[in-house]
Amino acid sequence: MQLNVNHRERELMETSMATGKKPGGTAAGGGDPPSPDHSDEPADPKLPGEMLMAHLLALLKDWSGYGYELAQRLEEAGFSRYNSGSLYRTLRQMEGLGLISSFWDTSAAGPARRMYSLTKAGQLFLDNWIAMLDFHRRALDIYLGSARRAARGADAADDRDSPPPDRRRASKPSTRRKP
């Protein structure tokens, strides 16, 4: 039964990657709907589901770490308001999808801690994610470049349509001697 669940989860992930939509029809990276916040201070940024996965995979590239260390690194990257339950739930989901693996590390003094590392499937997912981001970045660069050129063209057209600025200087008394 576990194999079927993992297979279904992988199909959902592949569909999500291919269509750009999360299962259930929300936009990719949509995450939970925003909750009303009545405070005046700005909220710390949070990563939506797929972005959190991608960041965790990137953190685990060439490095293995504990959940607490991953949370610290996310905080260092500017994503500080993370519910530890959400983080560990995402790590368990990623392990269920085969993107990461974990084991209990009992070598250090104190309680055993779960060590996470990237799998080959996780590396492939990360590589595909980076390729997709690069594609979108290039598309945005093209779009923004066109928009900038169009804005410069509109500014130039406005300059041609408007009368030239008055370039006369205020008259000064002449300091030249008359012969």
Each residue's pLDDT tens digit, 143-167: 998 888 888 887 776 666 666 555 5
From 8, 97, 7, 83, select the one nearest 50 (Cα to Cα). 97
Phi, psi of 48 (to 5 degrees): -65, 165
Does residue 33 belong to any structural domain of this protein?
no
Does residue 30 belong to any structural domain of this protein?
no
Does residue 55 belong to any structural domain of this protein?
yes
Q: Which domain, by its residues, includes 54?
A: 2-25+44-159
Does residue 99 belong to any structural domain of this protein?
yes
pLDDT band at 84 (very low <50, low <70, confident <90, very high): confident
pLDDT band at 176 (very low <50, low <70, confident <90, very high): low
**Do the beta carbons of residue 116 and residue 66 sit within 8 Å?**
yes
| Domains held by the chain: number | 1
**In the chain, % of residues over pLDDT 90:** 36
Q: Over the chain, what is the mean pLDDT? A: 74
Q: What is the CATH number of the domain that holds 11?
A: 1.10.10.10
Q: How many CA atoms lie within 13 A of 18 on its CB side?
A: 6
